[in-house]
A = this chain, B = another copy of it.
Amino acid sequence: MFSSILAHIRRFVPLNSEEEALLASLLEVREVKKKEHLLQAGEICKANYFVAKGCFRLYLITDKGAEQVIQFGIEDWWITDYAGLKSGKPSGFYVQAVEPSTVVVLNKEAEEELFDKIPQLERYFRQVLERAYSAQLTRIHYIFNMTGEEQYKLMNKHYPEFVQRVPQYMLASFLGITPEFLSMLRAKKD
């Protein structure tokens, strides 16, 4: 049940069996149906989610009423509205399963208790966040310096399975282009 998350944590910090048992007692496994939401705009975000299996998207509804995909989360990624989780204010984001998925739920209260009893977990999350942060800076670099076509091609080259895995209109939104334009790009050559 928890093997994937424990393996992931162990890639960053050591864990003894007591700590693993404590983690197992405070974490929660949850099956999520396709299109089911873990968080909706207006709600208070109460947990951080580790994707054990499946795929999620973090998105929001813009002023013009369109869905904007901000981030995807697949196996071994954490996904949540960090700002909302930490502030306790109603979230502006949605977190939704793109396909039938399994997550490990880390509730806010469990998180506090775990950070207290397993200080190594602070180290784990620090490192996870360092990576997530620099990935976003790299992404901003791509957004500014590559055309939609170049970004799509790069994505297709580096993550061909992923491009097939999510609906095209979600991928278009993530890349910051319209689904019509992405459709045209695909038609050009494939």
B138→A140 contact, CB < 8 A? no
The secondary-structure label for the interface of chain A is: helix
For this complex, 30 residue pairs linking A to B, each with C-beta atoms less than 8 Å apart, are A62-B145, A68-B141, A68-B144, A68-B145, A70-B137, A70-B140, A82-B131, A82-B133, A82-B134, A86-B130, A115-B123, A119-B119, A119-B122, A122-B122, A122-B123, A125-B126, A126-B129, A129-B129, A129-B130, A129-B132, A129-B133, A133-B133, A133-B136, A136-B136, A136-B137, A136-B140, A139-B140, A143-B143, A143-B176, A144-B176
Q: Does A74 contact B (CB under 8 A)?
A: no
B86→A141 contact, CB < 8 A? no
Q: Does A40 contact B (CB under 8 A)?
A: no
**For A137, what are the chain B residues with a Cβ–Cβ distance below 8 Å?**
58, 70-71, 136
Count identical subunits in the complex. Answer: 2
Separation of A131 and B84 alpha carbons in the complex (Å): 11
Considering only CB atoms, which chain B residue lies closest to A129 in the complex? B129
Interface positions of A from 51 to 77, Cβ below 8 Å from B: 58, 60, 62-64, 68, 70-71
Considering only CB atoms, which chain B residue lies closest to A143 in the complex? B143
Separation of A122 and B176 alpha carbons in the complex (Å): 35
